[in-house]
């Protein structure tokens, strides 16, 4: 979709459904949030963004935002209401300091919410490797509940919660699941899935019991890729340079394994998020998917587009799981952190295919072919690798 098409879509959207009005975003600096901010700016909306730490002015790349400082994990960790005082026994200097900071931030967030019509909640810790459980409980689960609670108190009109297909389910055969699928991911004991699923369930249950003054709409994207645009990373130098497409190490990647994924473009997901905020029905969830693709097909496309090896070696899942267990030994010996953890390896061999018919018919959502996304990623990657 060209920028001109994007403009006309934005104008059409503004003319139908819930009017976005004054917007507040969490996770605005992240991969998906940064695209949402740019789209809102193109619609003439200057959103308020919730930041847990300051960001250099140039890192915003000209995006127009107002800032409210609040660490959602810290706010959720502070159990007291605004008027409740801690006991003197609890008042160690550091606890008192962080308690005071959490109160100040909660007050700032509440007053920003009082001036908000639509909340886009994207902040989360995203990690499939099974690390950071406590932080995920704090941010993905308690932080989401606390924010939704504050938004309801402030009578925000609409709360758009960005969940994940990791809160929907997966299959052992290549069938595409929709929003009504039976949730079957408990067996993986993956903290990211657990906290995202619980957060979604809890706020939906809360909404059903509430006076419904605040509409709640949920979206569930699958794996999101695309040219990276996050605001925060622009100021940070890359630790290791990216390999050039077709380089020796990439050509060594000749593996595939059973199973498949649904992959969507970040530009389509951010568009879908805005569509759901304007046209989505309250209390409803929408899968914002892209193309279903088997791991083998994906590796074939990677070969054509990124110059990885042709996928000729079928890796048995038990062997991959054993290799993931081996990374623990590697870590214990000081070999550095691996993302290929046993927790991650447990997810291999399944089909994470999704059906976005509801979003397409009810929201007018559309996703571009995976081929186009991969080609755009390649162009972005080449620029990054050459430092231009
Ligand atoms: N990426 C995917 O493939 C994918 C797939 C499905 C669903 N999702 C969902 O989409 C949403 C956005 O994902 P993403 O990939 O854009 O995430 P991301 O790039 O990792 O960004 C996470 C965002 O959350 C903010 N954040 C982290 N801790 C915070 C805290 N304590 N208080 C306030 N803000 C905090 C980060 O701010 P800093 O700049 O301070 O770090 C950042 O803006 C998430 O809810 C995720 O679960 C993502």
- SS3 state at 276: helix
Q: Is residue 223 lining ligand 1, measured as CB closer than 6 Å?
A: yes
Q: What are the E-state strand segments in 134-211? A: 158-162
Q: What are the φ and ψ backbone dihedral angles of 243, each rounded to 5 degrees? A: -70, 150
Q: Is residue 269 lining ligand 1, measured as CB closer than 6 Å?
A: no
Q: Residue 185 in contact with residue 197, Cβ under 8 Å?
A: yes
pLDDT at 124 over 60: yes
Domain range list for the chain: 3-237+263-290
Question: Using CA positions, which residue lies closest to atom 36 of ligand 1?
Answer: 27
Q: Which tokens hold the place of 250?
A: 């990439």
* CA 122 to ligand 1 center in whole angstroms: 6
* CA 35 to ligand 1 center in whole angstroms: 12
- SS3 state at 217: strand
Sign of CA dihedral 238, 371, 365, 145: negative
What is the spatial distance between Cα 369 and Cα 297, in angstroms, rounded to a whole number?
14
Determine whether 59 is exposed, middle or buried from the number of CB atoms within 10 Å of its CB (0-12, 13-18, 19+).
middle
What is the spatial distance between Cα 63 and Cα 327, in angstroms, rounded to a whole number?
41
What is the spatial distance between Cα 340 and Cα 328, in angstroms, rounded to a whole number?
10
| Residue 202, pLDDT score | 97
* CA 140 to ligand 1 center in whole angstroms: 9
CATH node for 3-237+263-290: 3.40.50.720
Query: Strand 223-225 relative to strand 260-265: parallel, antiparallel, unpaired?
Result: parallel
pLDDT at 164 over 80: yes
CA 329 to chain CA centroid, nearest Å: 31
pLDDT at 84 over 90: no
What is the spatial distance between Cα 288 and Cα 365, in angstroms, rounded to a whole number?
8
The 10s digit of each residue's pLDDT in 166-204 is: 999 999 999 999 999 999 999 999 999 999 999 999 999
Give the atom of ligand 1 at the shortest distance from the alpha carbon of 139. 31
Crossing angle between the packed helical segments 144-153 and 93-114, to the nearest 10 degrees:
50
Q: Kindly list the distances between the CA atom of residue 152 and the CA atoms of 16, 162, 175, 195, in Å, as whole numbers in the listed order.
A: 24, 17, 38, 21
Tell me which H or E stretch contains 313.
strand 313-314
Could you tell me the pLDDT band of residue 127, with boundaries at 50, 70 and 90? Answer: very high
| Residue 121, pLDDT score | 98
Q: What are the E-state strand segments in 71-186? A: 118-121, 158-162
pLDDT at 92 over 80: no
The 10s digit of each residue's pLDDT in 210-242 is: 999 999 999 999 999 999 888 976 545 666 677
Question: Using CA positions, which residue lies closest to atom 43 of ligand 1?
Answer: 27
The 10s digit of each residue's pLDDT in 36-80 is: 999 999 999 999 999 999 999 999 999 999 999 999 999 998 654
Q: Is residue 31 lining ligand 1, measured as CB closer than 6 Å?
A: yes
Give the atom of ligand 1 at the shortest distance from the alpha carbon of 166. 6
């Amino acid at each position: 979709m060209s920028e001109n098409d994007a403009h006309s879509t934005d104008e059409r959207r503004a003319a139908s459904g819930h009017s976005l009005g004054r917007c507040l975003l969490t996770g605005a600096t992240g991969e998906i949030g940064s695209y949402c901010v740019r789209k809102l700016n193109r619609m003439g909306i200057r959103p308020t963004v919730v930041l847990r730490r300051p960001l250099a002015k140039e890192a915003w790349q000209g995006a127009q935002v107002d800032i409210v400082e609040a660490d959602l994990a810290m706010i959720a960790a502070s159990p007291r209401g605004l008027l409740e005082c801690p006991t003197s026994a609890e008042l160690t200097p550091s606890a008192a300091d962080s308690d005071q900071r959490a109160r100040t931030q909660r007050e700032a967030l509440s007053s920003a919410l009082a001036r908000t019509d639509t909340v886009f909640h994207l902040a989360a810790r995203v990690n499939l490797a099974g690390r950071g459980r406590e932080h995920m409980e704090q941010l993905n689960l308690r932080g989401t509940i606390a924010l939704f609670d504050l938004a309801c108190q402030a009578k925000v009109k609409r709360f758009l919660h960005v969940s994940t297909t990791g809160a929907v389910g997966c299959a052992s055969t290549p069938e595409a699941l929709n929003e009504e699928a039976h949730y079957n991911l408990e067996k993986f004991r993956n903290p990211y899935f657990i906290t995202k699923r619980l957060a979604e369930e809890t706020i939906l249950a809360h909404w059903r019991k509430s006076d419904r003054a605040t509409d709640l709409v949920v979206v569930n994207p699958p794996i999101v890729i695309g040219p990276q645009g996050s605001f925060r990373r622009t100021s940070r130098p890359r630790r290791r340079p990216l390999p050039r497409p077709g380089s020796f190490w990439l050509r060594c990647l000749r593996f595939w394994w059973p199973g498949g994924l649904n992959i969507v473009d970040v530009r389509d997901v951010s568009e879908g998020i805005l569509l759901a905020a304007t046209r989505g029905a309250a209390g409803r969830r929408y899968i914002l998917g892209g193309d279903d693709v088997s791991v083998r097909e994906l590796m074939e496309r990677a070969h054509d587009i990124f110059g990885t090896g042709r996928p000729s070696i079928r890796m048995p899942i038990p062997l991959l799981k054993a290799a993931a267990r081996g990374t623990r030994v590697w870590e214990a010996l000081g070999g550095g952190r691996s993302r290929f953890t046993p927790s991650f390896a447990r997810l291999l061999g399944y089909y994470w295919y999704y059906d976005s018919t509801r979003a397409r018919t009810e929201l007018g959502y559309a996703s571009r072919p995976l081929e186009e996304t991969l080609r755009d990623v390649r162009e972005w990657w080449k620029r990054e690798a050459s430092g231009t």
